[in-house]
């Protein structure tokens, strides 16, 4: 029995704002970032973090570059209290980092909060109460004045305790919790009242944090609320407007971005988006979005794998393989046309040019990923992907005509196996099909001489013994080709030829790729040798060997 019925819901009532300006704004610099991993992230976990996990997470946040870190709700749990004490007593907080703690606007909780902060060098005391209509009416059962009174008394209490500890550099933060569900004029009224208590100045600002505690509308509506609030709130030059968005509609990052365009200075969020319900907005995504636009995000995600590893081990939550920027598969292309485009663009990309690679919004190497994982080959892949993998892994720069020949062979295997084909398997198929210069005939000693024309005399060993072949031509390859033509009584024409030095493995080796037409059919041969002439003639021999095998099989049939 489903109760699925959209008529029981009401649409969001947007704030009436005239001449909004945020749609024309651009994000041009990083916000003040504040991590709430150790508080909002932590309060949403099945198993909240242990002190040891919080320590490891805190170190990561500092290393990434956060200067404001909400470390817990010390009045709520002994564990959070102890963690704050450890940070202070063990001098774990760098001089330029503010630790932030959250408390309800209740005197006994505020008092306990200050106890936890004794001796801190710098701290943000974050006090909140809900201002939304729903909570006013159903949770607090108070009118607007009663709610404003909780905020004002909380703000006063915060200020009074701070005055007793002038050795700490205090910053006050107030959140009208459930801001998105609050009439914006009322949110302004409550925040103005708090500002009246704190009396911030441009030199000593306070933080007003506007949370989308629950995301209830499209991000443009949130941006309207922020622009409206910024226009109306008093002493705008003395407050830092902070945003704290959640992801209930899947738009936490978008809301924060549009909110910044609408005037916000500071952004709260978590690494990889852990948090209540569908999570807080993901700082990694928002920072990397800036990075991909050429803006310094002032957070460093060069070691993304460490971020993932610490977040996963502390939260016990997996990171989705398609998570923006961080997921295991986000830089991987399986489909043929994407692989082809990526391979071509990467070949053009140099360090002195702006990044311009199809399907890759950022260079995976920037966050510690390699190009190896960019292209993975399965049954959806094409020749570009196979060629890319062989070049990346083994330095084999297959000519296009050979890519065309190898691709269906790999495709067949991936269809049979049903999954990803590793580079080692592609190399095996490549060797089995084209590097066929050792059987049934293998090159032994050979002698080249040049008079009017080039001549070659070569020994070919076979399971039944050694034979000698002799030929002439314009160049060693042509002479060897005519020697084989004469001996095997076939017509051999070289259709394609390419060679290059091998850059992976031994740097003194060369590889030759040959396509030959033998009695009207095309064969592809490849050989590697220290000497390029030797590699070339072995590549021709590889094609003739394939023809010999094909003829023997035809005779048997």
Ligand X SMILES: CC(=O)SCCNC(=O)CCNC(=O)[C@H](O)C(C)(C)COP(=O)(O)OP(=O)(O)OC[C@H]1O[C@@H](n2cnc3c(N)ncnc32)[C@H](O)[C@@H]1OP(=O)(O)O
Closer residue to ligand KIV in complex, CB, 39/547? 39
According to the annotation, is 40 in a ligand binding site? yes
Distance CA 439, CA 554 (A): 18
Torsion of CA 223, 227, 228, 234, to 10 degrees: 140
User: In whole angstroms, how close is the CB of 178 to ligand KIV at the nearest point?
Assistant: 7
Say whether 216 sits in a helix, a strand or coil: coil
Least distance between ligand X and beta carbon 360 (Å)? 37
- Positive or negative, the CA dihedral 278, 280, 284, 290 is positive
> Does the annotation list 366 as a binding residue?
no
Minimum distance from residue 502 beta carbon to ligand KIV (Å): 57
**Any contact of residue 323 with ligand KIV (CB under 6 A)?**
no
Residue (161 or 369) nearer to ligand X, CB: 161
Stretch that binds ligand KIV, among 209-217, 221-229, 295-303, 384-392 (CB under 6 A): 209-217
Sequence-separated contacts (24+) of 105-109 with Cβ below 8 Å: 105/129, 105/150, 105/151, 105/153, 105/154, 105/155, 105/157, 106/154, 107/153, 107/157, 108/75, 109/75, 109/76
User: Nearest distance from residue 106's CB to ligand X, in Å?
Assistant: 5
Using CB under 6 A as the binding rule, whether residue 177 contacts ligand KIV is answered as yes
- The binder of 55, among ligand KIV, ligand X, none, by C-beta within 5 to 8 A per type, is none
- Per CB under 6 A, 213 contacts ligand KIV: yes
Query: Is residue 252 a contact residue for ligand KIV (CB under 6 A)?
Result: no
CB of 128 to ligand KIV, least distance (A): 4
Binding partner of residue 175 among ligand KIV, ligand X, none, CB under 5 to 8 Å per kind?
A: ligand KIV
CA distance 324 to 313: 19
Stretch that binds ligand KIV, among 6-14, 157-165, 207-215, 546-554 (CB under 6 A): 207-215
Compute the least distance from the CB of residue 256 to ligand KIV, in Å.
13
Check residue 209 for interaction with ligand KIV (CB under 6 A).
Answer: yes
CB of 157 to ligand X, least distance (A): 11
- Is residue 40 near ligand KIV by the rule CB under 6 A? yes
With CA atoms as reference, report the closest residue to 84 among 101, 60, 105. 101
Q: Which is nearer to ligand KIV, 280 or 538 (CB)?
A: 280
Q: Using CA atoms, how far apart are residues 300 and 287, in angstroms rounded to an integer?
A: 9
Contact 135, 128 (CB under 8 A): no
Contact, 251 vs 218, CB < 8 A? yes
Which of ligand X, ligand KIV, none does residue 394 bind (CB under 5 to 8 Å by kind)? Answer: none
Put the strands of the sheet holding 465-473 in their side by side order. 442-450, 454-462, 465-473
Contact 394, 406 (CB under 8 A): no
Give least dist CB 175 to ligand KIV, A: 4
Site string for ligand KIV, 64-103 (x = CB under 6 A): --------------------------------------x-
Q: Whose CA is closest to 189, among 141, 223, 149, 136?
A: 149
Residues making contact with ligand X (CB under 6 A): 40, 43, 73, 75-76, 104-106, 109, 128-129, 139-140, 150, 177, 213
Helix/strand/coil (H/E/C) assignment for every residue in 430-490: HHHHHCCCCCCCEEEEEEEEECCCEEEEEEEEECCEEEEEEEEECCHHHHHHHHHHHHHCC
Nearer to ligand KIV, 180 or 534 (CB): 180
Residues 6+ apart with CB under 8 A from 299: 30, 33, 64, 65, 66, 283, 287
Q: Please, are residues 242 and 210 in contact by the beta-carbon 8 Å criterion? A: yes
Chain centroid, CA 496 distance in Å? 41
- 3 state DSSP class of 332: coil
| Residue closer to ligand KIV, measured from CB, 103 or 524 | 103
- Among residues 110 and 456, whose Cβ is nearest to ligand KIV? 110
- Residue-wise DSSP of 231-286: HHSTTGGGEEEEEEEB-TTS-HHHHHHHHHHTT--EEEEBGGG--STT-BPBHHHH
Least CB distance to ligand KIV at residue 324 (A): 21
Q: Given the structure tokens 């606007």, which residue do they identify? A: 105
**Across-strand partners of 473?**
454
* Residue 323 counted as an annotated binding residue: no
Work out which of 54, 122, 205, 244 binds ligand KIV, going by CB under 6 A.
244
Residue 379, SS3? coil
* Shortest distance (Å) from residue 247 CB to ligand KIV: 11
Judged by beta carbon distances under 5 to 8 A according to partner kind, the member of ligand KIV, ligand X, none in contact with residue 73 is ligand X
**Strand pairing class (206-212; 239-245):** parallel
- The item of ligand KIV, ligand X, none sharing an interface with residue 349, based on CB under 5 to 8 Å by kind, is none
Helix (H) / strand (E) element for 404: namely helix 400-417
Q: Is 280 annotated as a binding residue?
A: yes
Please select the residue that binds ligand KIV; options are 31, 72, 211, 219, rule is CB under 6 A. Answer: 211
Please identify, among the stretches 206-214, 297-305, 431-439, 512-520, the one whose residues bind ligand KIV according to the rule CB under 6 A.
206-214
Annotated binding site for Mg(2+): 40, 244, 246, 280
Annotated binding site: 40, 244, 246, 280
Judged by the rule CB under 6 A, the positions of this chain that interact with ligand KIV are 40, 102, 128, 175, 177, 209, 211, 213, 244, 246
């Amino acid at each position: 029995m489903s109760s699925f019925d959209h008529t029981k819901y009401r649409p969001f009532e947007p704030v009436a704002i005239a001449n909004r300006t945020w749609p024309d704004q651009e994000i041009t610099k990083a916000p003040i970032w504040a991590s709430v991993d150790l508080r909002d992230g932590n309060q949403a976990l099945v198993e909240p973090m242990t002190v040891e996990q919080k320590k490891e997470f805190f170190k990561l946040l500092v290393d990434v570059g956060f200067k404001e870190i909400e470390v817990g709700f010390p009045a709520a749990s002994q564990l959070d209290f102890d963690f704050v004490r450890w940070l202070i007593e063990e001098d774990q907080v760098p001089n330029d980092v503010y630790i932030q703690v959250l408390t309800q606007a209740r005197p006994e909780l505020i008092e306990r909060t200050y106890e936890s902060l004794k001796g801190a060098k710098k701290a943000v005391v974050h006090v909140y109460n809900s201002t939304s209509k729903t909570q006013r009416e159903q949770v607090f059962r108070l009118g607007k004045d009663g709610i404003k009174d909780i905020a004002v008394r909380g703000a006063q209490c915060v200020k009074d305790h701070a005055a007793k500890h002038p050795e700490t550099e205090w910053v006050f933060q107030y959140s009208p919790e459930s801001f998105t569900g609050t009439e914006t004029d009322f949110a302004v009224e409550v925040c103005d009242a708090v500002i009246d208590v704190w009396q911030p100045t441009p030199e000593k600002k306070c933080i007003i944090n506007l949370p989308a505690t629950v995301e209830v509308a499209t991000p443009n509506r949130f941006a309207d609320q922020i622009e409206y609030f910024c226009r109306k709130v008093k002493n705008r030059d003395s407050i830092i407007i902070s945003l704290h968005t959640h992801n209930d509609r899947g738009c936490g990052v978008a809301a924060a971005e549009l909110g910044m365009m609408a005037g916000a200075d500071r952004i709260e969020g978590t690494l990889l988006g852990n948090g209540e319900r569908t999570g807080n907005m993901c700082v990694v995504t928002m920072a990397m979005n800036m990075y991909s636009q050429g803006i310094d995000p002032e957070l460093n995600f060069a070691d993304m794998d460490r971020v993932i590893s610490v977040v996963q081990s502390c939260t016990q939550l997996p990171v989705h393989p398609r998570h923006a920027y961080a997921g295991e598969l986000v830089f991987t292309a399986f489909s043929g046309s994407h692989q082809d485009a990526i391979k071509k663009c990467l070949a053009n990309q140099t360090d002195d040019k702006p990044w311009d690679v199809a399907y890759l919004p950022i260079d995976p190497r920037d966050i510690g990923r390699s190009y190896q994982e960019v292209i993975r080959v399965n049954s959806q892949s094409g020749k570009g992907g196979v060629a890319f993998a062989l070049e990346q892994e083994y330095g084999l720069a297959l000519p296009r005509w050979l890519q065309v020949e190898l691709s269906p062979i790999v495709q067949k295997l991936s269809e049979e196996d049903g999954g990803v084909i590793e580079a080692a398997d592609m190399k095996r198929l490549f060797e089995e099909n084209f590097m066929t210069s050792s059987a049934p005939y293998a090159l032994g000693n050979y002698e080249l001489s040049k008079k009017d024309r080039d001549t070659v005399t070569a020994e070919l060993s076979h399971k039944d013994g050694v034979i000698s072949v002799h030929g002439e031509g314009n160049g060693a390859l042509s002479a060897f080709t005519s020697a084989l033509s004469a001996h095997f009584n076939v017509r051999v024409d070289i259709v394609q030829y390419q060679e290059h030095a091998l850059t992976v493995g031994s740097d003194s080796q060369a590889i030759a790729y040959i396509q030959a037409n033998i009695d009207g059919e095309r064969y592809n041969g490849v050989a590697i040798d220290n000497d390029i002439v030797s590699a070339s003639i072995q590549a021709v021999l590889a094609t003739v060997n394939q023809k010999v095998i094909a003829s023997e099989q035809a005779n048997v049939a």
